[in-house]
Amino acid sequence: MIQNEKPGNPARRAFFRKSLPIVPVTALAAAGGATALVASSGNHLPEVPGPAVNTSLARAADYHPSYFSADEYRFVQAAVARLIPQDELGPGALEAGVPEFIDRQMNTPYASGANWYMQGPFEPSAPPELGYQLKLNVREIYRLGISAANQWCSRNLGKAFADLPPEQQDKALAAMEHGADGFENLPSRTFFSMLWGNTREGFFSDPIHGGNKDMVGWKLIGFPGARADFMDWIERDEAYPQPPVSIEGQRG
């Protein structure tokens, strides 16, 4: 997360506009390897005025999860809505289908740990340069993390995460980011880092992976997508004039 910024602060989206264009275009075009019930009334959206969601984006609410339970999916929906909120710059992570992206990732070899080295010894206190040191795969991190987060919220804030008002959801996310007490099976920072990373990936991945509906993430940062050639514009100090194109040929 951005230092000194709350999860739902609109300044977070301004940060994307300034920082994401420096990310290599190949990373954004290929993102999607890592990281249902319709959104219910208990899932609070950010109380920030924004443009109306078009039909393409509205279809994100019709997705039925294949891995997450109904309660788990409500958590994912509510959390990503606070991490990248809808505001005056455009749709947020919820409207762009990021929950669908994350759920679909749970059914990949990446999420099951099939292509990870998952043998011990495990050294959770090892320095970061030694890599991931827990025995949990991504699916387990989400399942245990969501359960622990809801228990933490119920103990400290009186309700499960998805039932809290936005300002308390922000408080809970900030606590998890900085190391909340009571996460017995995994550090809250590990869970938050996974959730935040997958939220960004879903918002900026190619739509073929389930997120970035209508290429709203690419439009936000002026990324041309999977166009065959735009090299002559890279050195120009001006916005690329053409809409983004997805891997499947969809135009934004």
Residues 175 and 40: their CA atoms lie apart, in Å, by 25
Contact criterion met (CB below 8 Å) for 110 and 138: yes
Residues 120 and 49: their CA atoms lie apart, in Å, by 49
**Smallest Cα–Cα separation from 19: which of 36, 32, 33, 5?**
5
Tens digits of per-residue pLDDT, 140-160? 999 999 999 999 999 999 999
Query: Residue 42 pLDDT > 80, yes or no?
Result: no
Tens digits of per-residue pLDDT, 81-119? 999 999 888 899 999 999 999 999 999 999 998 888 888
Residues 165 and 28: their CA atoms lie apart, in Å, by 33
Q: Which residue has the higher pLDDT, 199 or 129?
A: 199
Tens digits of per-residue pLDDT, 115-137? 888 888 888 788 878 777 888 99
Residues 29 and 111: their CA atoms lie apart, in Å, by 20
Q: Could you state, in order of their start, the residue ranges of all structural domains in the chain?
A: 11-40+63-233
Question: What is the model's pLDDT at position 239?
Answer: 77
Query: How is residue 164 annotated by DSSP?
Result: S
**Smallest Cα–Cα separation from 35: which of 2, 63, 76?**
76
Query: How many other C-beta atoms lie within 10 A of the C-beta of residue 181?
Result: 10
Tens digits of per-residue pLDDT, 16-29? 555 444 344 333 33
**Smallest Cα–Cα separation from 77: which of 35, 31, 42, 34?**
42
Q: What phi and psi values does residue 245 have, to the nearest 5 degrees?
A: -130, 135
Tokens (6 digits) for 192: 């938050």
